[in-house]
């Protein structure tokens, strides 16, 4: 069996790097997949390109950064992943500069990533758009020896994927890879629960539902699951049928989808099953 990417062999752990614009983006978009990958013994890292210092209505600056850093560390422990790193760029002020690109190149190389996942470049939030842009700008450069020569280049390109989103223009998200997360959905909720400043304070405040947040830990998690964990869409279920088979796909309640980027290593379906080992156990008929 051939290796699924330029970095991974049959006996090696798959190395996957999730990049979000803010602390909690990776958890929201891919917490279930990350937990499954970690449970299979693979290397998983979350990165927030900004430090989250603007994401609150009643606090900010360094105190909020430290709070969000602690929340991220706790979320990583709850998911069982290897690391959760926050870069130092200000929340709400991210720009696709050469400095940020170099940081992303360095992260991808140092993690020796087989798979890199980030936002699509069309998004409501400028930080999301520019995080996507710097990942895109870094994608080819990670393998160029004379770019950031103090860090050894990758041996070829990783696979680059996009998180799912709801935006339709210039084109809607495509469910190329869909992972069933029913077995870890409560673990994902447990990880999101660690981001108290966001899921119980900031985001409810933004959405005008702060008064609806329950008081007790158990009721908060139940509310969080209902508010934040969506059921499987029809387009996602079609993708589930491809990867798990039609019979099993009908019973899946929760999933996370990813779109293949048009840059980086372009994997075959068999390579995707190697990179996402939870799929290889459920080959469609």
Per-residue pLDDT of 193-217, as tens digits, reads 999 999 999 999 999 999 999 999 9
- Summary mean pLDDT of the chain: 94
The answer to whether position 79 is within a domain reads yes
Give me the pLDDT at residue 281, please. 67
Mean pLDDT value across residues 118-139: 97
Give the residue, 10 or 72, on which the prediction is more confident. 72
Give the start-end residues of each E strand in the chain: 15-20, 43-50, 83-89, 115-118, 159-163, 177-180, 255-264
Instruction: Return the percentage of the chain with pLDDT > 90, whole number.
Output: 92
The answer to whether position 215 is within a domain reads yes
The answer to whether position 225 is within a domain reads yes
Mean pLDDT value across residues 101-125: 97
Mean pLDDT value across residues 66-93: 98
The answer to whether position 1 is within a domain reads no
Give me the pLDDT at residue 12, please. 74
The answer to whether position 8 is within a domain reads no
Q: Are 187 and 76 in contact (CB under 8 A)?
A: no
Q: Can you tell me the distance from the alpha carbon of 153 to that of 150, in angstroms, rounded to the nearest whole number? A: 9
Give me the pLDDT at residue 280, please. 72
Mean pLDDT value across residues 180-193: 98
Mean pLDDT value across residues 129-140: 98
282: pLDDT confidence band, cut at 50, 70 and 90? low
121: pLDDT confidence band, cut at 50, 70 and 90? very high
Number of domains in the chain: 1
The answer to whether position 3 is within a domain reads no
Look up the domain containing 60 and give its range: 15-280
CATH number of the domain bearing residue 164: 3.40.50.10320
Q: What pTM did the predictor assign?
A: 0.94
pLDDT digits (tens, 9 = 90+) for 2-24: 344 444 444 578 999 999 999 99
The answer to whether position 151 is within a domain reads yes
158: pLDDT confidence band, cut at 50, 70 and 90? very high
Give me the pLDDT at residue 170, please. 92
Give me the pLDDT at residue 191, please. 98
Half-sphere exposure of 243 (CA within 13 A, CB side): 29
The answer to whether position 267 is within a domain reads yes
Q: Can you tell me the distance from the alpha carbon of 146 to that of 164, in angstroms, rounded to the nearest whole number? A: 34
């Amino acid at each position: 069996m051939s290796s699924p990417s330029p970095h991974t062999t049959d006996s090696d752990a798959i190395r996957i790097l999730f990049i979000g614009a803010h602390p909690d983006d990776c958890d929201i978009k891919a917490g279930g997949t990350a937990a499954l990958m970690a449970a299979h013994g693979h290397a998983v890292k979350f990165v927030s390109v900004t430090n989250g210092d603007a994401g609150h209505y009643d606090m900010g600056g360094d105190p909020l950064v430290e709070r969000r850093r602690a929340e991220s560390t706790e979320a990583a422990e709850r998911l069982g992943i290897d690391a959760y790193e926050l870069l130092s760029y200000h929340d709400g002020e991210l720009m696709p500069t050469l400095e940020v690109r170099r940081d992303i190149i360095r992260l991808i190389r140092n993690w020796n990533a087989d798979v890199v996942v980030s936002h699509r470049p069309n998004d409501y939030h400028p930080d999301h758009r520019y995080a996507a842009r710097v990942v895109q700008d870094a994608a080819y450069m990670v393998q160029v020896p004379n770019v950031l020569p103090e860090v050894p280049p990758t041996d070829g390109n990783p696979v680059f994927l996009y998180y799912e989103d709801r935006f339709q223009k210039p084109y809607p998200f495509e469910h190329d890879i869909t992972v069933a997360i029913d077995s870890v959905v409560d673990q994902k909720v447990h990880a999101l629960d660690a981001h108290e400043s966001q899921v119980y304070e900031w985001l409810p405040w933004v959405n005008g539902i702060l008064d609806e947040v329950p008081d007790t830990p158990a009721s908060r998690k139940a509310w969080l699951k209902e508010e934040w964990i969506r059921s499987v869409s029809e387009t996602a279920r079609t993708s589930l049928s491809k990867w798990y088979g039609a019979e099993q796909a009908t019973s899946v309640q929760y999933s996370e989808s990813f779109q293949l980027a048009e840059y980086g290593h372009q994997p075959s379906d068999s390579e995707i099953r190697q990179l996402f080992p939870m799929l290889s156990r459920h080959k469609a008929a």
